[in-house]
Amino acid sequence: MSNVIRVEPKPKTCVALIRGINVGRAKRVAMADLRQLFSGLGYRHATTLLNSGNVVFVDDTGETTQQISAKLESAFASRIGFSARIIVLTAVELRSVVEADPLSHVATEPSRYLVAFLDSSDWSAPVKQLAGQDWTPEILATGPRAVYAWCPNGISGGRLAEELNRTLKDSSTARNWASVTKLLKLAEQIENSPSSSSLSSSLSSD
């Protein structure tokens, strides 16, 4: 009788970016409810950052980020009461987005530097078409999993940010550079201390 050796999936630290919650008075979600949702699905160290739908967690299932995203979206709609697009990246993928920063030489103010994370590469054609246009004084650059937009006069009401939102619709969700780098720092903290019980479960202050 042969012995079957079961190989356990290697834990991976992930980041979930939830689109369109806690903007104004619509679609309000408490961060405690988000952490409970993730923990209820078996994800460890569910930790929220700010109040805009950012969750860092550890996955032990071996599922792909697309599978995790689908599971989270279904549970979110069922338990929170409305639907929201959730894009999931591994800490490795988020790190690559930060390290690939193509506009570091001009984007000097993190709050005016926008990163739109894509759910797949299917949007590469329309995004590249936008990148070929003149957005002066704004600048658009592309990466394999993200679009980078420098908005020197501010993101809100900017022509480039509005066009990205119109083109990408629910297939992306965006964060400013300050939030992106904070998320990476938190993900690396959890990644390097996966069994730590002293990690804060919420970093929700702006």
pLDDT in tens, the chain (206 residues): 556 565 567 899 999 999 989 877 778 899 999 999 999 999 999 999 999 899 999 999 999 999 999 999 999 999 999 999 999 999 999 999 999 999 999 999 999 999 999 887 566 777 878 888 999 999 999 887 899 999 999 998 889 999 998 888 888 899 999 999 999 999 999 988 756 444 445 555 43
Question: How many CB atoms neighbour CB 199 within 10 A?
Answer: 15
With helix as H, strand as E and coil as C, how does 36-97 read? HHHHHCCCEEEEEECCCCEEEEEECCCCCHHHHHHHHHHHHHHHHCCCCCEEEEEHHHHHHH
**pLDDT value, residue 5:** 60
* pTM of the complete model: 0.87
Judging by beta carbons within 10 Å of its beta carbon (0-12, 13-18, 19+), is residue 129 exposed, middle or buried? exposed
- How confident is the model at residue 123, as a pLDDT? 66
Q: Residue 64: what pLDDT?
A: 94
CA atoms within 13 A on the CB side of 6: 2
Q: Quick one: tokens of 195?
A: 């069994």
Token pair in block for residue 91: 């800490």
Domains detected in the chain: 12-94+182-194 (3.30.70.1280), 97-176 (3.30.70)
For residue 146, give the 3-state DSSP assignment: strand
Residue 144's pLDDT is: 78
